[in-house]
């Protein structure tokens, strides 16, 4: 687990780094509150912080308040490690948003158990986050999360004037797979389908499970032609890569795809774009399945 040490004193930073490494953690350092803030705004920041109180620029308590006021849903466990001591300092630090408080000089064994307690809370929070945002069968985003990601991707496309496409992907005659092989094998087929999607999409494309066998894929910075290419790659991969069971049986599937491109004047929000993708999917189903239809 990454642990961010925020301290302006190089000796303390070195000592903390050595201790954390010894305890199997991965220290990351910032020499000021301002630098820490920059680092915490990047992707995948550390979620466990050891924070000094008095530093040039943003102080420890100020940094706590800034992080607690953010509404990006990121969780940080903050241990304030400071030369200050006494109840007043504890109260001030924890009112600012610190989760724990330790005075310098500190006993290494006490820091170790406090960090262990913080790690447990960070892991618990990560588990909760995973449960709340992922579909438990396929591990792609669940409906609530993909809606949220879709909204923010759409807002960004509108702001930057960049392209955005969405595809609704639905397995053809999935009921027949369940009826023929049973529900458990139907589940395996759904997992296979998501694996194929992940293999054929880019890192920044987002896949969500929208209903039983219906998936939505949000394709940022993608124009209609590129989106068509991606959709065709997915469609043919599903057709030609059957799900192989442990006993060697192969479950063949096909998918129908409805594709729609974001048009700022026409699409005030996610719903109208999805409706067009949905209508295109419906046409794909009605006109024979195993095909892609692009919305008008």
Q: Which residues are catalytic?
A: 213
- Should residue 212 be labelled a site residue for ligand GTP when binding is judged by CB under 6 A? yes
Strands 100-103 and 77-82: parallel
- Should residue 173 be labelled a site residue for ligand GTP when binding is judged by CB under 6 A? yes
Distance of closest approach, residue 172 Cβ to ligand GTP, in angstroms = 4
CB 51, CB 98: distance < 8 Å: yes
- Should residue 278 be labelled a site residue for ligand GTP when binding is judged by CB under 6 A? no
Residue facing ligand GTP at closest CB distance: 212
- Should residue 172 be labelled a site residue for ligand GTP when binding is judged by CB under 6 A? yes
Smaller CB distance to ligand GTP: residue 171 or 260?
171
Tell me which stretch binds ligand GTP (CB under 6 A): 62-70, 151-159, 170-178, 241-249: 170-178
Distance of closest approach, residue 169 Cβ to ligand GTP, in angstroms = 11
Distance of closest approach, residue 187 Cβ to ligand GTP, in angstroms = 5
Smaller CB distance to ligand GTP: residue 32 or 188?
188
Between helices 183-200 and 174-181, what is the axis angle to 10°? 140
Smaller CB distance to ligand GTP: residue 42 or 246?
246
Q: Where are the beta strands (DSSP E) in 11-116?
A: 26-30, 48-51, 77-82, 100-103
Site for ligand GTP in 119-148 (CB under 6 A): 137
Query: Site for ligand GTP (CB under 6 A): how many residues?
Result: 16
**For 218-280, what is the HEC assignment?**
EEECCCHHHHHHHHHHHHHHHHHCCEECCCCCEECCCEEEEEEECCCCCCCCHHHHHHHHHHH
Smaller CB distance to ligand GTP: residue 93 or 189?
189
- Should residue 186 be labelled a site residue for ligand GTP when binding is judged by CB under 6 A? yes
Burial of 240-267, coded b for 16+ CB within 10 Å and e otherwise, reads eeebeeeeeeebebebbbbbbbbeeeeb
**106: exposed, middle or buried (C-beta count within 10 Å: 0-12, 13-18, 19+)?**
middle
Interface residues toward ligand GTP, by CB under 6 A: 137, 170-175, 178, 183, 186-187, 190, 212-213, 285, 289
């Amino acid at each position: 687990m990454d642990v961010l040490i925020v301290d302006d004193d190089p000796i303390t930073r070195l000592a903390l780094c050595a201790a954390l490494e010894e305890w199997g953690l991965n220290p990351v350092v910032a020499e000021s509150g301002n630098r820490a803030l920059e680092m915490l705004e990047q992707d995948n920041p550390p979620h466990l912080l050891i924070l000094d109180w008095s530093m040039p620029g943003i102080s420890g308590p100020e940094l706590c308040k800034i992080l607690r006021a953010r509404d990006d849903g990121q969780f940080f466990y903050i241990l304030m490690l400071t030369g200050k001591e006494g109840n007043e300092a504890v109260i001030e630090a924890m009112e600012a948003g610190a989760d724990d408080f330790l005075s310098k000089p500190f006993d290494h064994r006490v820091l170790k158990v406090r960090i262990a307690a913080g790690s447990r809370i960070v892991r618990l929070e990560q588990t909760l986050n995973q449960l709340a945002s992922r579909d438990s069968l396929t591990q792609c985003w669940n409906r609530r999360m993909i809606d949220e990601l879709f909204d923010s991707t759409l807002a960004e496309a509108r702001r930057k004037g960049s392209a955005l496409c969405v595809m609704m992907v639905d397995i053809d005659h999935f009921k027949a797979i369940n009826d023929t092989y049973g529900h458990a094998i139907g589940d395996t087929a759904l997992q296979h389908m998501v694996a194929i999607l992940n293999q054929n999409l880019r890192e920044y494309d987002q896949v969500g499970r929208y209903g039983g066998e219906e998936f939505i894929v949000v394709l940022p910075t993608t124009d209609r032609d590129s989106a068509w290419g991606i959709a065709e790659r997915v469609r043919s991969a599903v057709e030609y890569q059957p799900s192989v069971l442990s006993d060697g049986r192969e479950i063949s599937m096909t998918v129908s795809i409805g594709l729609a491109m974001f048009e700022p004047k026409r699409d005030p929000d996610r719903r109208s774009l999805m409706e067009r993708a949905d209508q295109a999917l419906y046409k794909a189903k009605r006109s024979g399945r195993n095909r892609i239809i692009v919305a008008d």
